[in-house]
Homo-oligomer: A and B are copies of this chain.
């Protein structure tokens, strides 16, 4: 008996060591191929410089989809599916402007996504400064006919910048309607950032349908500081001109490249990012990076001759920024076809140095996954955390109940310097950092494909 136990233990040990060595060699191979011959950076250059900002419904959206289809094919997908979905079609409609009425000082602003402008007529009104929703409530009797200026400061003391974003973004989301409820004519929102420049940061707002849809802009941080100081000295009026409107909905597409599984073709693994971006920038980090990393994983699997056991879908989601129609459609179809989606990974937090993966899955699954950490950590993701995923893959888990999710967490310190602002451009993406994100993602997808979940 003792002998059998000994032999079994020795065999298990041998298999584990052998498996680990094989995996570690394969991951090194994937890494070397990406770092030596990677196409992600060149692809990002095309997407940002030849196509540019690509909001749902725009001509650039269509160009980006066609380009994505082409790159998926070139990267070696067994098939490429263009999955149609209806997307909102919001347009900025012209240049966003703001100035002080006395002094005619120009303020650097950008209309919030989904906000409705009133064109040349504009809004002229006294500005009411509030630093929080609590302060809005206290001053609610003063709001009528004013422009409410939410000067909520992005909290610099949080080390994880997404925590600051989580708190600040409620002002962008519900600030306009909460001010409209008390009769405000427009709102100005301090940009969700701790950058040192004055670029304003856009992003989606959500009007409450029963309240007036008032114009809403974000303002750069330097101008926000100036405005706040002036308002503490005395009264000040501002003119805002924005032209946002919704046109008829359009048809967008999730671009889906597929490698069909050799052993378990019905078990589906998804990896993706979103193809749309705001119109005021190139969407290089958000989320061009996630898209080109996704296609790079497809390319590298083919380049090193890795044949997946399970079906892997490489997805450029159609519409994350102002509607989530891409992710919703993908989940809807998966449910309708009764597909078995075991895992989905998203990269939508910028193309910076990878530091962690966040997992939303069962304890049992996490216990399995965390054993792979020593294999991946040398490439950057040295932390495996509970909780995480991505906006576009969230609907899949909600629809099917069982799909395990993960999100890539790159270093977050620079992300809100460029997020939804005019400086989210190709030049602010570092080639190696972008590639290392793809390396870590490729390693994780490889392990999940090989061992299942």
Contact = CB atoms under 8 A, between A and B. Distances in A.
A382 interface: yes
Contact of A353 (B32, B194, B413): B413
A165 interface: no
Contact of A157 (B31, B194, B196): B31
A119 B251 CA distance: 67
Interface string A40-54: 010000000000000
Contacts of A414: 430, 432-433
Contacts of A380: 159
A417 interface: yes
Given A353-B353, A382-B382, A383-B382, A156 B413 contact: no
A197 to B, nearest CB: 11
A54 B379 CA distance: 36
A431 B414 CA distance: 9
Contacts of A413: 353, 430, 432-433, 436
Contacts of A156: 35-36, 432
A411 interface: yes
Interface in A415-432: 417, 430-432
A378 interface: yes
Interface string A7-51: 000000000000000000000000110011000010000000000
Contacts of A383: 382
B430 A417 contact: yes
B430 A36 contact: no
A192 to B, nearest CB: 15
Contacts of A41: 196
B417 A157 contact: no
A36 B379 contact: no
Contacts of A378: 159
Contacts of A433: 413-414
A431 B154 CA distance: 15
Q: Which of A161, A353, A378, A433 has the most CB of B within 10 A?
A: A353
Contacts of A436: 159, 413
Q: Which of A41, A355, A413, A417 has the most CB of B within 10 A?
A: A413
Nearest to A411: B353
Contacts of A411: 353, 411
B430 A35 contact: no
A196 B44 CA distance: 14
B159 A194 contact: no
A196 B38 CA distance: 13
Given A35-B157, A411-B411, A432 B194 contact: yes
Contacts of A194: 431-432
B430 A32 contact: no
A396 to B, nearest CB: 30
Interface string A270-309: 0000000000000000000000000000000000000000
A36 B432 contact: no
A417 B430 CA distance: 9
Interface string A181-212: 00000000000001010000000000000000
A5 B32 CA distance: 56
Contacts of A196: 41, 431
A432 B159 CA distance: 9
Given A31-B157, A156-B432, A159-B378, 19 more contacts: A32-B157, A35-B156, A36-B156, A36-B157, A159-B379, A159-B380, A161-B432, A194-B431, A194-B432, A353-B353, A353-B411, A355-B355, A411-B411, A413-B430, A413-B432, A413-B433, A413-B436, A414-B430, A414-B432
